[in-house]
């Protein structure tokens, strides 16, 4: 399977614990995005990377959230001191952006569903 | 408020019928994209329509774009039970290609 892979698929954690999610994008894709989706809503943008550089972070990304893409391949999203409000589906997407061809389609992973109890 | 807003929020139809949903957006766009999401799963890209296109087809899907009204529609013809899902429109920001999604239309196709 050469699609976007996310692990774990589900995570239940106690409030106050730290969690880390992993995303493996499609291998040749240079852009990687993280989104958060709560029940009944559309996904909301959190942050994105161009290769290993984190180029933008949403205001939704509080200082308890940190994302990395150390070698421009896989990415991790860590949430420290989780709160019940962090319960959501965390979606990763990747795309291939080329000069002169903007805004191509994004390929999404299956998501990681986080439940904070 | 969201850049893309879908209408209706929910739709229930019989298998074989057509399903139409609409999306409105606020700012100018390079393209508009439609995605499908089955319950609890990731999003699947359906179709991308560029701002200089008015209509696009892909299999049983037909998408229209009216940039003067800042709206798009997605038509699913001859629906099947497997089309049961949530459908989202999304518009990318010019810089970064990050997508802004609407709240989605939940489609139920009854066999």
Q: Which residues contact A26 (CB under 8 A, 6 or more apart)?
A: A2, A3, A4, A94, A96, A107
User: Is pLDDT above 80 for A101?
Assistant: no
Least confident of A23-27, A105-109, B59-63: A105-109
Mean pLDDT computed over B32-56 = 93
Q: Give A15 to chain B, closest Cα distance, Å.
A: 23
Q: Which residues contact A50 (CB under 8 A, 6 or more apart)?
A: A30, A31, A97
Task: Indicate the pLDDT class of residue B1, thresholds 50, 70 and 90.
Answer: very low
Q: Give B15 to chain A, closest Cα distance, Å.
A: 24
Report the alpha-carbon distance of residue B17 to residue B79 in Å, rounded.
Answer: 6
DSSP string across chain A: --S-EEE-SEEEE-TT--EEEEEE--TT--EEEEEEE-TTS--EEEEEEETTEEEEE-TTS-TTEEEE-TTSS-EEEEESS--GGG-EEEEEEEE--BTTB-S---EE---EEEEE-
Contact B8, B102 (CB under 8 A): no
Q: Give B77 to chain A, closest Cα distance, Å.
A: 23
User: Is pLDDT above 60 for B51?
Assistant: yes
Name chain B contacts of A1, Cβ cutoff 8 Å.
none
Report the alpha-carbon distance of residue B64 to residue B26 in Å, rounded.
Answer: 16
Task: Indicate the pLDDT class of residue B109, thresholds 50, 70 and 90.
Answer: very high
Q: Which residues contact A116 (CB under 8 A, 6 or more apart)?
A: A13, A14, A15, A82, A83, A84, A85, A86, A87
Q: Looking at residue B78, what is its pLDDT? A: 97
Q: Looking at residue A99, what is its pLDDT? A: 72
Q: Read off the pLDDT of residues B81-102 as tens digits, 9 standing for 90 and up.
A: 999 999 999 998 877 678 999 8
Name chain B contacts of A113, Cβ cutoff 8 Å.
40
Report the alpha-carbon distance of residue A69 to residue A76 in Å, rounded.
Answer: 7
Task: Indicate the pLDDT class of residue B40, thresholds 50, 70 and 90.
Answer: confident
CB contact under 8 A, A48 and B96: yes
Higher pLDDT, A39 or A19: A19
Q: Read off the pLDDT of residues A35-90 as tens digits, 9 standing for 90 and up.
A: 999 998 999 999 999 999 999 999 888 999 999 999 889 999 999 999 999 999 99
Name chain A contacts of B41, Cβ cutoff 8 Å.
110-111
Q: Looking at residue A100, what is its pLDDT? A: 65
User: Is pLDDT above 80 for A2?
Assistant: no
Residue A8, preceding peptide bond in cis (omega within 30° of 0): yes
CB contact under 8 A, A4 and B102: no
Mean per-residue pLDDT over chain B, rounded: 91
């Amino acid at each position: 399977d050469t699609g976007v892979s996310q692990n774990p698929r589900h995570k239940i954690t106690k409030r106050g614990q730290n969690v880390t999610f992993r995303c493996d994008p499609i291998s040749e894709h240079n852009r990687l995005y993280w989104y958060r989706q709560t029940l009944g809503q559309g996904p909301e943008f959190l942050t994105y990377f161009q290769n290993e550089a984190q180029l933008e972070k949403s205001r939704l990304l509080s200082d308890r959230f940190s994302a990395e893409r150390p070698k421009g391949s896989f990415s991790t999203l860590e949430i420290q001191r989780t709160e019940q409000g962090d319960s959501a589906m965390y979606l990763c997407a990747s795309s291939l952006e080329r000069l002169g061809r903007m805004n191509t389609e994004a390929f999404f992973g299956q998501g990681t569903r986080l439940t904070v109890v | 408020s969201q850049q893309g807003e879908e209408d209706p929020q929910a739709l229930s139809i019989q298998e074989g019928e057509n399903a139409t949903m609409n999306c409105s957006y606020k700012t100018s766009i390079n393209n508009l994209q439609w995605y499908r999401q089955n319950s609890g799963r990731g999003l699947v890209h359906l179709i991308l329509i560029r701002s200089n296109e008015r209509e696009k087809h892909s299999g049983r899907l037909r998408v229209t774009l009216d940039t003067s009204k800042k709206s798009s529609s997605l038509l699913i013809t001859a629906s099947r039970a497997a089309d049961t899902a949530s459908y989202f429109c999304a518009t990318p920001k010019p810089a970064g290609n990050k997508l802004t999604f609407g709240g989605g239309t939940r489609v139920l196709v009854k066999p």
